[in-house]
Amino acid sequence: MAAKIIDGKAISAKMKEEMKREIAELRGIGIFPGLAVVLVGENPASVVYVRNKGKACHELGVHSEEHRLLANSSEEDLLRLIERLNKDDKINGILVQLPLPRHIDERKILEAISPDKDVDGFHPYNIGKLMIGEPAFAPCTPYGVIKMLEHSNIDITGKNAVIVGRSNIVGKPMAMLLLQKNATVTICHSKTNDLPAVCRGADILIAAIGKPRFVTADMVKDGAVVIDVGINRLPDGKLVGDVDYDAVAQKAGYITPVPGGVGPMTITMLLYNTIQSARRAAGKVKAVEV
């Protein structure tokens, strides 16, 4: 079987058109969504990601602020900035770009962000809400994966979903969202026994391990939906996912490309969460529903 390609860029573009209409509507009633992106240091990948987020805000007419701190800024400097943004009525979303320099305690920083402005969904409050199936900000990458499946009319209910990777940013929240959508969920990791056999049981296979081309065709069931969350730069500069794309595309029913798959959706869901946050701040919705 030759897989259908799930085009993250096209789905993003479609969602952004809807969001533009929504923003115009909100503007009419005096609501102006605003996002603050905080970058500490200048990790080259982070600089690109922050630029992508600013560009998307600009494209949609969302107010955006980029706050850059030097790599040697203290934890206190960063906490003071977050405190200020927490109180700023123009700001509905606060995003601290990860990873942070090693001398800064990432958990402490994420816990300082007001849960009401935590559009990345990394605050323990929102993680807890996600766990009990209550409305909360869902982390952008796994939330984007759910939207990709829905836009492709792929049923989730009753399916075996296997996630390879157990990170707090992707694997774990992905499991919660798929469970919420009635999948039977397995999370695999580096210690999983006979990983290829577990993966072969997947109707929906999510690769989020951060190893280039780790998921090979022998690990994929015929006709499976394969979602590639990986972004790996090879020594020759080429960007590849966690899936051995060419071979797996011969076997899967659906597959996401890298680039142009999950990545653009991550950015779009950030904007989506920011808009929902602005609505909620204005009392237009009680909470944010996944």
Q: Spell out the residues 6+ positions from residue 250 whose beta carbon is closer than 8 angstroms to its own.
A: 1, 2, 3, 217
Q: How far is the CB of 241 from ligand BQF (least distance, A)?
A: 9
188 and 143 Cβ atoms separated by less than 8 Å: no
Q: Cα(99)–Cα(164) distance, rounded to whole angstroms?
A: 21
Q: What angle do CA 93, 230, 127 make, to 5 degrees?
A: 40
- Amino acid making up residue 33: P
Report DSSP letters for 235-275, one per residue. TTS-EE-SB-HHHHTTT-SEE--SSSSHHHHHHHHHHHHHH
Interacting span for ligand BQF (CB under 6 A) from 61-69, 79-87, 197-205, 260-268: 260-268
Q: What x/- string results for residues 81 through 100 when contact with ligand BQF is judged by CB under 6 A?
A: -----------------x--
Written as six digits, the tokens of 124 are 């323990």
Q: What x/- string results for residues 114 through 153 when contact with ligand BQF is judged by CB under 6 A?
A: ----------------------------------------
260 binds ligand BQF (CB under 6 A): yes
215 binds ligand BQF (CB under 6 A): no
Q: Cα(150)–Cα(160) distance, rounded to whole angstroms?
A: 16
Interacting span for ligand BQF (CB under 6 A) from 104-112, 244-252, 256-264, 274-282: 256-264
Task: Provide the annotated active-site residues.
Answer: 53, 97, 120
64 binds ligand BQF (CB under 6 A): no
173 binds ligand BQF (CB under 6 A): no
Binding site for ligand BQF (CB under 6 A): 49, 52, 98, 231, 258-261, 263-264, 266-267
